[in-house]
């Protein structure tokens, strides 16, 4: 029992020491997103076309990096304005009612979590610029929406994203990432057996204090 207790104490001490030596910082985020919501029925049947639409993002970001290994984690709290354009009129069930193009506007609270790797062994150049890659899950909470009344929404959805970027002058990060929706964001009311999952590109700039 004493041996197990000693091991626990040692592990806690190592974790505390590792955490105390970690670099942490906070920053503000702004960017754009290019969104698509492919419409599928029974998983693989294309229901109608969807168009790429441009939205925006603002929020805050925090990251922790562990010295010597180039690895870290970060998390953000972001507001996403996420529009979508759906060509409902391509299907007779909507065209017969005089419904053509449907424009949707969604206001989403996004919480992405990332595992991050930065390459900084650049002989001093990393003080001006260095590359990094990241990836992880995201949780999206629908805050509000507006449309023509033809959709039913999911209040909480999950996604997975990967991306890359560069950091400039140890202050600015510019990144691009692609997110795949893992769960349904919304579906049509008239045809229940369908799903619209998010497919989006995020281009973001972060300024760290």
Mean pLDDT of 90-109: 93
Work out the mean pLDDT of the chain and round it to a whole number.
87
pLDDT band at 11 (very low <50, low <70, confident <90, very high): very low
Task: Please name each of the domains of the chain with its CATH number.
Answer: 23-208 (2.40.160.20)
- The predicted structure's pLDDT at residue 8: 45
Mean pLDDT of 21-41: 90
Q: What is the pTM of this model?
A: 0.83
Q: Quick one: DSSP state of residue 89?
A: G
pLDDT band at 26 (very low <50, low <70, confident <90, very high): very high
- The predicted structure's pLDDT at residue 1: 57
- Ranges of H-type helices in the chain: 2-20, 92-95
What does the buried/exposed string (b/e) look like for 41-71 if buried means 16 or more CB atoms within 10 Å of the residue's CB? Answer: beeeeebbebeebebebebebebebeeeeee
Q: Reduced to 3 states, what is the DSSP secondary structure of residue 198?
A: coil
Q: Reduced to 3 states, what is the DSSP secondary structure of residue 92?
A: helix
Mean pLDDT of 93-107: 92
Write out pLDDT tens, residues 156-195. 999 999 999 999 988 999 999 999 999 999 999 988 788 8
């Amino acid at each position: 029992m004493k041996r197990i207790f000693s091991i626990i104490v040692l592990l806690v001490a190592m974790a505390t020491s590792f955490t105390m030596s970690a670099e942490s910082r906070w920053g503000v985020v702004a960017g754009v997103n290019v969104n698509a919501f492919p419409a599928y029925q029974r998983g693989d049947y294309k229901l109608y076309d969807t168009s790429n639409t441009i939205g925006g993002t603002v929020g805050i970001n925090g990251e922790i990096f562990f010295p010597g290994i180039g690895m870290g984690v970060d998390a953000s709290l972001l507001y996403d304005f996420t529009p979508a354009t759906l060509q409902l009129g391509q299907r007779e069930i909507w065209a017969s009612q005089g419904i053509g193009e449907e424009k949707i506007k969604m206001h989403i609270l996004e919480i992405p979590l990332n595992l991050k790797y930065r390459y900084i062994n650049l002989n001093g150049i990393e003080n001006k610029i260095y590359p990094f890659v990241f990836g992880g899950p995201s949780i999206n909470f629908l805050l509000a929406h507006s449309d023509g009344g033809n959709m039913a929404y999911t209040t909480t959805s999950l996604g997975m994203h990967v991306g890359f970027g560069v950091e400039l002058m140890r202050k600015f990060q510019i990144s691009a990432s692609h997110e795949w929706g893992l769960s349904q964001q919304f579906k049509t009311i008239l045809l229940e057996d369908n799903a619209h999952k998010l497919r989006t590109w995020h281009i973001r700039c972060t300024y760290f204090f």
